[in-house]
Each structure stands twice: as C-alpha cells, then as structure tokens.
Amino acid sequence: MTEAKRPDRVLPEAPDQRPLERFWPYADLPEQPTDEELAQLHPELRNVLFGAPALPFSITIVFPKFDGPEYERALTLARASDEYIETHVGGTLRHRARFMPGDRPLRLRELYEAVSGVSDTEVLIDDRPLPFARELWLPLVWFLIR
C-alpha cells in the first residue's frame, strides 16, 4: 500500500522538471561602486567607509523641502554651491549645499537668508553640527563679504 501524500507538502516527491543551470540575472554587477554612486553617498557614510577626506574648511546648509515662494530660489542657490546633493533621511528629502566660503560668502548668506526661517534647517561646519554655528560661525563668514 502506498503512503498517502502529506497534506502540508506543496512540492511533489519527485520533480516534474529539471531546473535550469544558469546563474541569477544579477551575477554580472560590478564589484566596485561607480563614481556617480560614490558622489551620491551621504557624507557621514562616506567618512565611515573611506575615512575623512582632506577638504578645505566648509560650511554646509541642510534644509528640507518646504512650501513657499523662496523654495525655488533656495534650490537654485543650493545647486550653485560648491557641492550639492539630495539625500533622503527618514523618507524626507533633504538638500545639502556645501560652500567653501573663502571666495563665495555672499552666495552662502543668500541661501541662509532664504532658508533660515524653515524648521529643521541645519548649519554644519566641516560636515559636523557645532555649537553656535548660526550665531557665531556664520557672522564670522559675513565679515568676508566686501
């Protein structure tokens, strides 16, 4: 007498077909990230993976998407910065505009004035949140404006 097929078993005892002998479709992905992928990395992740780069002094303004007439102007100013990337943090779009203020403090001030009233706007000094970044560091840079 043959054994009854177990009711919880989905597959047959013996296969009906022979599986294909090929690798899954993504086997030929490059092992190293491309330059475009590296450029889109969040700066903190880039520092952890590759170490801190030897960059000159910088001030970064990070701001979320906001409603209002200043948003398009802020985007235009941010895209004109020395380094601009868009990141998603917690499902929220964040714009990061890095300035090397040695010769461009006016553009930094224009962007800051456009987004200073937006909640969740951050000012980072060398990609780190420092105390008094808004109250001390930015006014010191404003002295460079002639």
Q: How confident is the model at residue 84 (pLDDT cuts 50, 70, 90)?
A: very high
Distance CA(141)–CA(102), nearest Å, equals: 8
Percent of residues, the chain, with pLDDT higher than 70: 82
Distance CA(65)–CA(58), nearest Å, equals: 22
Q: How confident is the model at residue 96 (pLDDT cuts 50, 70, 90)?
A: very high
Most confident of 16-25, 35-44, 124-133: 124-133
Instruction: Give the residue-averaged pLDDT of 14-39.
Output: 69
Output the pLDDT for position 105.
Answer: 84
Instruction: State yes or no: pLDDT of 78 exceeds 80.
Output: yes
